[in-house]
Amino acid sequence: MPIELKQLQSKQFPTWCPGCGDYGIWMAIKQAMTQLDIPQENYVLVSGIGCGSKMPHWVRTFGLHTLHGRPAPVASGIKLANHKLTVIIIGGDGDSYGIGLGHFTHLMRRNYDLLYIVENNQVYGLTTGQTSPTSDEGYCSISTPHGVLETPINPISLSISAGATWVGRSFSGDIKHLTQMIMSGIQHKGTAFLDILQPCVTFNKKNTYQWYQERVHRLGEGEDHHKVTDKLAALKAAESWEKKINIGVYYEEKRPTYEEGLPQLKKGTLVEQSLEGIDVKSLLDRLK
């Protein structure tokens, strides 16, 4: 039976700042879950550390709140233990593109069948708005009073180059579009990556709702004949930022998932397989 929205309401209520873009992401995740034919108990939300990383606390399903920058390896382990589960990783731009960047890129190339959502507000909102790996060049904050010197990370081109088989971007101010993008990412067979433009109303006074609304452009609309199978076109679309920011599916390809290549999973999930008759003595002897 379809999940009803009220079934996903946890006992706790989010404590984000009023107007935070995370509220839109929270609602879109729940709406996507109600529209997909996936049992509530088959979802697992895995997060790192950050404002939006409290998401597993506020969606009533299985979840795990892990360490800063470490949701990817934990989610990989969950998927290997039971590849029938629908695993969704939720992290911020600092969590994913900063301390967790190594895990992020290797997850993309391995192509596990899961969705990685990044709430990209371009600052460290949890710790008073320091600049993050995606802060615009010249952006001033308490940690960079004279402006950011580094070129910001481009998460779209990075994920495509790293090997993700579904790459998209959406805006937390457009819940309808965001809901559809989350659904598409979940339904994709392979590693799906969704970068979400998420205004931080408290600390980021540049990249506001209005700033994004004046720039977001849906790929494939009007005279834009974007082909999601064209990697070069996707990389070119990813370069557009200051005047026009593309949202939608940038790139998609079909490739065997990591789980499909493991002979250990041919008989079913690891959690369903019996441990009887397994002898690890020879392995232990080799490790002496």
pLDDT range class, residue 87, cuts 50, 70, 90? very high
Per-residue pLDDT, 142 = 87
Phi and psi torsions of 88, nearest 5°: -125, 120
Q: What is the pLDDT of residues 232-248, one digit of tens each?
A: 999 999 999 999 999 99
| Residues 94 and 147 sit within 8 Å (Cβ to Cβ) | no
Per-residue pLDDT, 278 = 84
Q: Give Cα separations from 260 to 36, 83, 160, 269 (angstroms).
A: 23, 10, 21, 11
The 10 Å CB-count burial string (b at 16+, else e) for 117-156 is bbbbbbbbbbeebbbbbbbbeebebeeeeeebeeebbbbb
Write the burial class of residue 35 (CB in 10 Å: 0-12 exposed, 13-18 middle, 19+ buried).
middle
Per-residue pLDDT, 277 = 83
Domain ranges in the chain? 5-258
Residue 143 confidence (pLDDT) above 90? no
| Residues 160 and 250 sit within 8 Å (Cβ to Cβ) | yes
pLDDT range class, residue 9, cuts 50, 70, 90? very high
pLDDT range class, residue 288, cuts 50, 70, 90? confident
Mean model confidence pLDDT for the chain: 95
Which fold, 5-258? Rossmann fold (3.40.50)
Most distant CA atoms of the chain, gap in Å:
66
pLDDT range class, residue 81, cuts 50, 70, 90? very high
The model's pTM is 0.95
Q: What is the pLDDT of residues 149-189, one digit of tens each?
A: 999 999 999 999 999 999 999 999 999 999 999 999 999 99
